[in-house]
Amino acid sequence: MKKIILTTVLVAVFVFFGSASPAMAKNGGPDNIDKASNIGKVQKLQSIFNRFEAAVNRLGALNNRLSAVSKKIAEMGVDTSETDALVAEAEAKLAAAAELNASLKALIDVEDPNEIPAEIISEIKNLASESKGLIEEARDLMKDALRALRDAIRNALKDNDDEGDEGDDNDDDEGDDNDDEGDEGDDNDDEGDEGDDNDDEGDEDDDNDDDNDDDNNDDNDEEDDD
């Protein structure tokens, strides 16, 4: 039963987390802002911020669910320590990215984008690049955590199979022991038969004694008649 549950969970993990990587739009990074006007730059930064914020939220939700699955698997006796460590590290990366996104939002949300000086635009770009890097690191950590959980489940299934084989070996050994006990019983029966043979030999000796007594008595009777 435990093997069936672990196998089902393994399949579910593959299906559910198969699309865990956030989609980064092409040409949507902060390095492509320089070609736009000041207003265009801010609009592009706003678009980038929205995508980064969505990525952090989506990855955060997936990371939480991965953590919950890991805990359930651990309750079945599977070692998920490696997965838990990677999940915690990914959570820290996502928290740092969320802080950077909050700073981005504060710099971008202005009434007139033209009032944003060039140095602030440059700072926004740097923050966006750093946030993107943290998101990608968190995504990679989650992939590693998923692989670790998959390996942990497979190892647990393998251990269960090995225990089953060991049980079969024990059954075979017990069967052999029972056969040995049966052989020992046969030996005891043979000893009993040998005892019966000895008794028969004793009876034969008694018969010989009786014959000798009868012969002696007959001889004595003949002497008395003479």
Question: Side chain identity at 143, as an amino acid letter?
Answer: K
How far is 30 from 87, CA to CA, in rounded Å? 27
pLDDT tens across 83-104, in order? 999 999 999 999 999 999 999 8
How far is 199 from 139, CA to CA, in rounded Å? 91
pTM score of the predicted model: 0.61
pLDDT tens across 137-170, in order? 999 999 999 999 999 999 988 877 656 556 555 5
Higher pLDDT, 144 or 181: 144
| pLDDT for residue 47 | 87
Higher pLDDT, 154 or 115: 154
Residue 194: is its pLDDT beyond 90? no
Residue 222: is its pLDDT beyond 50? no
| pLDDT for residue 71 | 94
How far is 74 from 84, CA to CA, in rounded Å? 10
How far is 9 from 80, CA to CA, in rounded Å? 14
pLDDT tens across 29-52, in order? 555 554 446 677 778 888 888 999
Domain boundaries of the chain, sorted by first residue: 2-174
Residue 124 confidence class, pLDDT cut points 50, 70, 90: confident
Higher pLDDT, 53 or 45: 53
